[in-house]
Structure 1
Amino acid sequence: MKTDIILAGVGGQGILTIATILGAAALKENLFLKQAEVHGMSQRGGDVQSNLRISSDPIYSDLIPQGSADLIVSLEPMEALRYGSYLSSDGWIVTNTNPFVNIDNYPAIDKVESELEASGNVVAFNMDETAKELLSPRSSNMVLLGAASPFIDIKKELIEEEISRLFSSKGDKIVNSNLEAFRAGRKYTENLIKSR
């Protein structure tokens, strides 16, 4: 088993929180793990990207070669496209469709969406809207994690345990809202896969 994941977004969206949760869950599954990050956390809105490699066998590099990522997981649609050259021919893009317009020359969203659709295997929906519907607007990253989770060979119960552990200091209400967001994202992808 091997899953190479590129996590992408902008500073402040919670991409590194996803990496933390998946990394801890992978270790509980006794899997090997390598991770590399690029982020400008000091400037909110800067590019954030993480290579996350999970395998049942030893991993010798923390960087994912171009054309070999199993998943591109992004909270921002243009950021998903930025790393498209890393996606394998049968890989999946899982992305939020709500843009984070932080540059003057951000492309037209319909152009971004059509390029995403042309990528083939795509799970794309407005994860911010899903989080708001759950009365948990700050948990769109957990919706994203849930939407990506069917493509990752880690038991969902272990991912949920790590969500609970990570947010436990913030109280049961925050834990439960993040779990609910994760489950909503997972359900969306499971329904999409069934309908294909």
Structure 2
Amino acid sequence: MKKLKFDPLNMIICGIGGQGNVLASEIVSSTLNDMGYRVAVGETYGASQRGGSVMSHVRVSETEDFGVLIPSGEAHIIIGFEPLETLRMARQYANKETMIIYDPRPVYPLGVLQGNQTYPPVEEISKELLALARETHAVHAADIAMEVGDSRAANIVLLGAFSRLPGSPLSTGELSEILAQRFQGEALEINRKAFASGCSAMDLKGGNHQ
């Protein structure tokens, strides 16, 4: 168990229903717990089956048990599966030390598809995220997942990217090991490819921005 940069380390994993962000938060939290950290997890759901917001609070400590909800402005890491949802969380929880990894591919609500609502340009979302946080990393997880053979593996792509983030409490090896415990056969192979591709996407980026 390595020393945390912050104690508690506060992480938010967010997206919309059906994107696999709840599974991602469960993988992260259970891995941390198995390593000996004290982990508190809280989840909030919108109309998740209709594409509503889904958000997980993950709080990690070496020695103490903390409440499950992260106070406003105190997230250290935000992992976002949808850009506008990521921005909503960042507006409430980010600060100048926050690191954000997100998929910049929009998932348009029904109101937008019907022409009753508007969706802000992704470029504007990216600029605001960068202004709110210490650093942001746009990883095209959904596109990468489709390239490796299964669009549902976007969550695993983002976990691979997360493992390469400076300050991540979990290494690439630690997260990679748990995949073999959660998946079997063809699903395991696809998720291993997705995870490796997420790692590579972060390595290729090099810098701290888009």
CA offset at residue 110 of structure 1?
Answer: 2.9
Q: Name the structure with the higher strand share.
A: 1
Matches within 5 A, 1:4-153: 4-40=10-46, 43-84=49-90, 85-102=92-109, 103-104=111-112, 105=117, 106-119=119-132, 120-151=134-165, 152-153=168-169
Q: What letter is aligned with 2:178? A: E
- Give me the TM-score of the superposition, normalised by structure 2: 0.83
CA contact (8 A) 2:59 2:66 kept: no
Alignment match of 2:176 (pick from 138, 142, 160): 160
String of CA shifts for 1:54-111, please: whole Å, max 9, x gaps.
2212132111111211111111000110011311321111000100101432223332
Q: 1:176 to 1:41 in 2, by over 3 A?
A: farther
Alignment of 1:173-188 (within 5 A): 173-188=186-201
| Aligned AA (2:94) | L
Q: Does structure 2 conserve the Cα–Cα contact (< 8 Å) formed by 1:67 and 1:89?
A: no
Please list every run of 5 or more consecutive structure 2 residues that lacks an aligned counterpart in the other structure. none
SS in 2 for 1:82: helix
| Whole-Å separation in 2 of the counterparts to 1:125 and 1:117 | 14
Return the alpha-carbon distance in structure 1 between the equivalents of residues 146 and 66 of structure 2.
Answer: 41
Deviations 1:26-58 (A, max 9, x none): 122111100000014662301100100122121
Paired with 2:84 and 2:12, the residues of 1 have a C-alpha distance of 14
Q: Deviations over 1:146-181 (max 9, x none)?
A: 11223321233232222222223xxx2111111211
CA distance in 1, matches of 2:103, 2:207: 20
| Cα deviations by residue, 1:109-138 (Å, 9 ceiling, x for unpaired) | 332233233334000132111112222322
**Amino acid aligned to 2:100:** I
Instruction: Answer yes or no: is the 8 Å Cα contact 2:20–2:152 preserved in 1.
Output: no
Q: What is the CA–CA distance in structure 2 between the aligned matches of 1:67 and 1:92, rounded to whole Å?
A: 12
* TM-score, length of structure 1 as denominator length: 0.89
CA distance in 2, matches of 1:74, 1:156: 19
What RMSD in Å do the two structures reach over aligned CA positions?
1.8
Unaligned runs of 5+ in 1: none
**Total equivalences in the alignment:** 192
Offset at 1:24?
Answer: 1.5
